[in-house]
Amino acid sequence: MARLKPVSMNVLAEAREEAYYVIACLMAGLAPGEHVVRLGVCMDDQPSLSATLPITVEGAGGCDDMVEVDDKFFENFAFLLTCGLAQTLSYGVMYLRSPGDGAGGPAMVQTWSLGWGALSELPANVAAELIGEREPAALFVDASPVAAMAEDGPCAVESVFPPKAYAPH
């Protein structure tokens, strides 16, 4: 079982808030379709931990699209991301797999690196080296800054999260 170094309640609360903001930004920038966000986190000498968050977006690609996730996947993902952001000696990778352009096109993958309590975007070639074996048929693209995903799209984060960020099934 992984053991975490103690952090203050304030640090943990800030990390949880940031984790929810990151997830909201990811959700706000998604086009209709089936998406998957994967996160792997390593802390000190502990075994790595991972979480998966399947996201379904239904609609016409506007602000009224329905974003659906399963509660248990959402909470597990948010908890692991919170831990990774709160534990400054943790490191890991988060990546988003989205449907490709057009029918039958390859899935598109964006990847972020987690280190020292922060997420930073990775270029496509680095992402392909890191996780290419897990997503062999995917098209790797340069990752956008997470906050820009919500700002660049037609909908602001507030229109997606909270309180109607997701509809649990």
Give the pLDDT band (50/70/90) at residue 123.
Answer: very high
Measured distance CA(155)–CA(169) in Å, rounded = 23
Q: Which pLDDT does position 67 carry in this prediction?
A: 92
pLDDT at res. 150 = 60
Dihedral over alpha carbons 13, 19, 24, 27 (to 10 degrees): -160
The CA-atom distances, in angstroms, between 147 and each of 56, 95, 130, 138 are: 20, 15, 23, 24
Q: Could you give the count of Cα atoms lying within 13 Å of 103 in the half-sphere of its Cβ?
A: 0
Model pLDDT, residue 2: 58
The strand ranges marked E within 44-169 are 49-58, 66-68, 90-98, 108-115, 118-121, 139-140
Give the three-class secondary structure for 142: coil
pLDDT score at 100? 78
Structure confidence at residue 156 (pLDDT) = 52
Higher pLDDT, 151 or 107: 107
- Distance CA(110)–CA(43), nearest Å, equals 23
Question: With 70 as the cut, is the pLDDT of residue 83 above it?
Answer: yes
Distance between CA atoms of residues 73 and 80, nearest Å: 11
pLDDT per residue as tens digits for the range 24-67: 989 988 889 999 999 999 987 778 999 999 999 998 887 788 99
